Chains A and B, each alone.
Chain A
């Protein structure tokens, strides 16, 4: 069963681009939830991608970029019936912003999405639903920008989430980002940058990620700096450094201690991902060299072809990793 409610956020109210502070929250309750009024369940948080919303996950079957999308609730019901995953509460928050999803990070321009998820959504869910309110029974996953977000939040908040499974999270920014920005520059030359352009996804990435990685509240109307100068394309080192701090391929190093505290780490990406599987591979190589256990998976396909199945795989994986029942000794997070 899916419940959709609207919750208010103080952390998202602080933004400069007119983003609403009231957000939809979709919650999947497993089959036995209603009948067992005492039972508590582990919870999985699923973060959506750049072009989506909380409610995208639960919409009726449709097609997107050739992929056949089924509502997540149906996939969970089937997997639970087939005993491929344990019963869990699955929480789908909303991370949409004016120029696309800002990868669930805190931004003075787009809003404080990390605080929103780790403080407001988690406490609302634990207050409202029969979850096991402990990091050992709480995991986070997400796809694309949600993969970036689940990495970002999971690697920085081990007291909140005990496991993470970023999917198609992108990364290896020195290779991935420049062509996107250059394509946008080519699109507008010789005009001046003037905000996202309908029909041109590169332009949305530039402003959406700019709002996330190099927000600049002193620079209306779009409130961000670009890591490349227009029209020369010259690298702007101080801005680029800020972007690189969000690159999973390298930003694991200062978070090693957090990562070692997790019960589990899993990655999954399509080997033909348009943003490259390299970010995940480089990150996996780094974690291996540091002796940090993780499960790096790849599947055939591009960025979105097996989107819903990879989310199901991540939640099913979590149900093996997390504590499925409350432990008397377990301190509440």
Chain B
């Protein structure tokens, strides 16, 4: 069952995009929820770069030339197939130029703070969750996979497991070439904001709003880590970007990562952005440091098997998180 709520967050109200602090929140309650007093583990599902929370329950339609089913159908089927029942929480991560990447930014709002402080407290207060990190995980695809990494690797006392589906990673490959592609597409004109004919243009501004925001710049409050038109790297800015890159950031977060109950890396071997290399590098590094994780690959592109991989990641989280507490909740009654 799907419930759509509105949640208000002071952490999001502070932004330079003219957005309010009020956001859609989509919550999936498993089939047994209404007829039991049980508490459930919680899986936070983060959307990708160009979509919104409100898109999850809607469907079926064609997206990326694959039938996009309603998320409740996908999760119902996973549970009917034997996966554990969990509450799935789907927040909205929209920023000024697309997805916020789920990080704190003066441009988009503080999405990390929103989730680990406001959202988790709201969900635990309003639904029968098992309100502890051991029973709380996070997953997502694309920008949402990156967000799952960012949140769990920095907040192990909030989330104890992360499943990264085709997560943005290895910025030196994909995101560097993104800038060169974008510069090539506009030269000799100067960068002047996103345009209708270029997804790249949205992503250079959107990623910059997340990784190198600069409120002093108008009308686009960002810095690019590459100089236009020479393409020369601006090391102090690119270093800030790389500090977010999973293939780099794991090193300073090793202690956090060791506290997690599980890490899943899942990616298609024909990812258009080369994210299978990012996943492989991250896996190799984690292995060398003795950090337990599971790395999966499948034949597919960035999105071609998205709705097959989401239920698999859900099932993996269900196996890793501390299971449903069967003790009845004092005072709670089935409705």
Contacts and interface: CB of A to CB of B under 8 A. Distances in A.
A238 B60 CA distance: 33
Contacts of B63: 51
A198 interface: yes
Given A62-B94, A301-B196, 14 more contacts: A51-B62, A59-B54, A59-B55, A63-B49, A65-B199, A66-B198, A66-B200, A67-B196, A68-B194, A68-B196, A198-B304, A199-B65, A203-B65, A306-B196
A199 B66 contact: yes
B305 interface: yes
A252 interface: no
A60 B301 CA distance: 26
Interface in A175-205: 196-201, 203-204
B60 A204 contact: no
Contact of A204 (B54, B65, B194): B65
Interface in B145-202: 194-202
Contact of B50 (A62, A198, A203): A62
Contacts of B196: 66-68, 301, 305-306
Chain A interface: which size bin?
Answer: 20 to 34
A76 B318 CA distance: 44
Contacts of A55: 58
B52 A60 contact: yes
B324 to A, nearest CB: 33
Interface in B272-297: none
Contacts of A203: 65
Interface string A284-317: 0000000000000000011001100000000000
21 contacts: A52-B61, A60-B52, A60-B94, A63-B199, A63-B202, A64-B50, A65-B199, A66-B195, A66-B197, A66-B199, A66-B200, A66-B201, A68-B202, A198-B66, A198-B304, A199-B66, A199-B303, A203-B65, A204-B65, A301-B197, A305-B197
Interface in A144-158: none
A93 to B, nearest CB: 14
Contacts of B94: 60-62
Q: Is the interface of A mostly helix, strand, loop or mixed?
A: loop
Interface string A128-165: 00000000000000000000000000000000000000
B197 A302 contact: yes
Contacts of B24: 60
Contacts of A201: 62, 65
A96 B52 CA distance: 21
A198 B67 CA distance: 7
Interface in B76-106: 92, 94, 98
Interface residues of B, number: 34
Contacts of B200: 66
Contacts of B62: 50-52, 100, 201, 204
B139 to A, nearest CB: 20
B61 A56 contact: yes
Contacts of B65: 51, 196-201, 203-204
A200 B304 CA distance: 9
A-B pairs, top 7 by smallest CB distance, nearest first, are A199-B304, A198-B66, A63-B50, A51-B62, A66-B199, A305-B196, A201-B65
Interface of A: 50-53, 55-56, 59-68, 96, 100, 196-201, 203-204, 272, 301-302, 305-306
Contacts of B55: 59, 62
Contact of A63 (B54, B59, B67, B98): B98
B198 A199 contact: no
Contacts of B20: none
Contacts of A198: 65-67, 304-305
Contacts of B59: 53
A209 to B, nearest CB: 13
B149 to A, nearest CB: 22
Contacts of A65: 199
Nearest to A63: B50
A53 B305 CA distance: 21
Question: Which of A96, A199, A272, A306 gathers most chain B CB within 10 Å?
Answer: A199
B58 A62 contact: no
A34 B27 CA distance: 32
Question: Which of A59, A60, A204 gathers most chain B CB within 10 Å?
Answer: A60
A102 B298 CA distance: 32
A60 B199 contact: no
A96 B61 contact: yes
Question: Which of B50, B94, B98, B305 gathers most chain A CB within 10 Å?
Answer: B50
A56 B62 CA distance: 11
Interface in B43-71: 49-52, 54-55, 58-67
Contacts of B52: 59-62
A199 B50 contact: no
Contacts of B300: 199
A67 B196 CA distance: 5
A305 B94 CA distance: 20
Contacts of B98: 63
Contacts of B301: 199
A306 B196 CA distance: 7
B211 to A, nearest CB: 18
A198 B68 CA distance: 10
Nearest to A302: B197
Contacts of B197: 66, 272, 301-302, 305
Contacts of B66: 198-199
B91 to A, nearest CB: 13
